[in-house]
Amino acid sequence: MYDSRVDWSFAADDTVGGRISLARDACGLSLEDAAGVVGVETETWRHWENDQIALRHDRLDKVAGVLKVSLAWLLSGAGKGPLAAA
């Protein structure tokens, strides 16, 4: 039987940049604060959130740690995300 109900809640965050933005908001961090903790320019963080540049592999663990999400969730959306404790 066809189920026409679709859960679109994931759609807006279904990119690495979208998940970074979602997790940053969930942590209550400003763009400037998050960038400062990771040690990048605010513009670089903004580019990550807008999927304009990819996160370098040497930054992935640090970003995931700052945002309190798993690396798997950050990359794929599967795993411990920002709303896992909610």
Tens-place pLDDT, residues 30-82: 999 999 999 999 999 999 999 999 998 889 999 999 999 999 999 988 888 88
Ordered by where they begin, the domains of the chain are 13-76 (1.10.260.40)
Positive or negative, the CA dihedral 39, 14, 21, 44 is positive
Greatest Cα pair distance, the chain, in angstroms, is 51
pLDDT tens for residues 3-28?
A: 444 343 444 468 999 999 999 999 99
